[in-house]
């Protein structure tokens, strides 16, 4: 894969005990050293105009000045330093560059994956939260719409937490489809089945809140039966994946049971959706707080695009849990246009 990386993203340091540490990117890069076909590309940081395309001007000014004064605790979870704002612009710039690469034909083994931090999917239009300051995926999607003349962008968020910021930014718009699989009742507590968009955006939000304990069979069924048909029906001109790796069974801040191989299966499925819609594909890093499993997850996604076939579930592992099946059935009723593949 073509990985976007900037040393500036390592400078954001929310504190030695904070789970969203610079060591996350260092671990990913160490893990990728063992794999064939990895390339890294730098990118120019986002301009403030790119950020204010999806965030309120007043918020952008406030968070920039907060960092310039030395930072501190923005909220109980979200800490900043003087280096945070340049890192946030660098992270958003990497996401934008991944979009440009995808739209310019980078695919297959060259599929772009933005390794930026701080992550972004919790950042709403007028606030930072959940370790996030600038919504990288939203900035990248808006860049595609504004600068590349696209009409429709789809974002699939497989992070264990609901991407409330991405949803909110595009909730009343019909040009961005947002789908999220996440752990029910986990931070930030949003992403209910009934949240489907409003106004011009009615029907362009698909939330799949799954109960604690959901694993590979549950995730893949959710994609096969609902996410993939919905995105294919939307027929996007660009497909972004907000790729968090904190649904892993060994991640310290979630209760999902996705395996490393499960991420290979997810990567294979999003590639199939990209192929079915002829939509260029790009990945944007979100969460993942076990250094080992984060590195393994990014690594297995890379290997999937480098030609490795995912090991699909055995028959005795392929059963969707009763609780997840009830959620999928409810979603099918809520979004009546989406049927089982």
Q: Answer left, alpha or beta for residue 72, where phi above 0 means left and psi between -120 and 50 means alpha.
A: left
**What whole-number distance in Å separates Cα of residue 230 and Cα of residue 39?**
32
Following DSSP, what letter does each residue of 205-269 receive, concatenated? EEEEEEPTT-BHHHHHHHIIIIIHHHHHHH--SEEEEEE--TTBTT-TT---BB-HHHHHHHHHH
Q: Answer left, alpha or beta for residue 163, where phi above 0 means left and psi between -120 and 50 means alpha.
A: beta
Is 161 in the active site?
A: no
**What whole-number distance in Å separates Cα of residue 140 and Cα of residue 102?**
11
Which residue among 122, 162, 182, 335 is the active-site one? 122
Helix (H) or strand (E) holding 32: helix 23-32
Lookup: tokens for 316 = 């005795």
Burial readout 7-37 (b: 16 or more C-beta within 10 A, e: otherwise): ebbbebbbeeeebbbbebbebbbebbeeeee
Q: What is the CA radius of gyration of the chain?
A: 18
Residue 309 burial by Cβ neighbours in a 10 Å radius (0-12, 13-18, 19+): exposed
**What whole-number distance in Å separates Cα of residue 120 and Cα of residue 229?**
26
DSSP state of 313: P
**What whole-number distance in Å separates Cα of residue 164 and Cα of residue 307?**
34
**What whole-number distance in Å separates Cα of residue 266 and Cα of residue 258?**
10
Tally of CA atoms within 13 A in the half-sphere of 210 that contains its CB: 32
Q: Which residues are catalytic?
A: 122
């Amino acid at each position: 894969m073509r990985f976007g990386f900037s040393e500036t993203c390592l400078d954001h340091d929310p504190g030695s005990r904070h789970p969203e540490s610079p060591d996350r990117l260092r671990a990913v890069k160490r893990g990728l050293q063992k794999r064939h076909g990895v390339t890294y590309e730098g990118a120019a940081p986002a301009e403030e105009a790119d950020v204010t395309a999806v965030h309120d001007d007043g918020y952008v000014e406030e968070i920039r000045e907060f960092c310039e004064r030395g930072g501190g605790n923005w909220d109980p979870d979200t800490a900043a330093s003087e280096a945070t704002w340049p890192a946030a612009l660098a992270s958003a710039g990497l996401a934008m560059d991944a979009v440009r690469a995808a739209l310019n034909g980078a695919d297959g083994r060259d599929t772009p994956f933005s390794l930026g931090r701080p992550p972004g999917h919790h950042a709403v239009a007028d606030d930072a939260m959940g370790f996030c300051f600038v919504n990288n995926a939203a900035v990248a999607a808006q860049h595609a719409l504004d600068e590349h003349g696209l009409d429709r962008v789809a974002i699939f968020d497989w992070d264990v937490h609901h991407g409330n910021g991405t949803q909110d930014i595009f909730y009343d718009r019909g040009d961005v489809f947002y789908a999220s699989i996440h752990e029910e009742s986990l931070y930030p507590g949003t992403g209910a089945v009934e949240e489907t968009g409003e106004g011009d955006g009615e029907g362009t939000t698909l939330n799949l809140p799954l109960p604690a304990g959901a694993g590979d069979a549950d995730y893949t069924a959710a994609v096969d039966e609902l996410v993939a048909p919905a995105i294919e029906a939307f027929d996007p001109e660009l497909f972004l994946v907000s790729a968090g790796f904190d649904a892993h069974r060994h991640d310290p801040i979630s209760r999902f049971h996705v395996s490393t191989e499960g991420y290979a299966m997810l990567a294979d499925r999003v590639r199939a959706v990209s192929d079915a819609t002829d939509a260029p594909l790009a990945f944007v890093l979100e969460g993942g707080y076990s250094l080992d499993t984060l590195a393994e997850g990014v690594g297995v996604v890379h290997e999937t695009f480098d030609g490795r076939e995912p090991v699909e579930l055995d028959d005795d592992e392929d059963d969707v849990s009763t609780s997840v099946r009830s959620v999928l059935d409810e979603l099918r009723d809520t979004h009546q246009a989406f049927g089982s593949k």
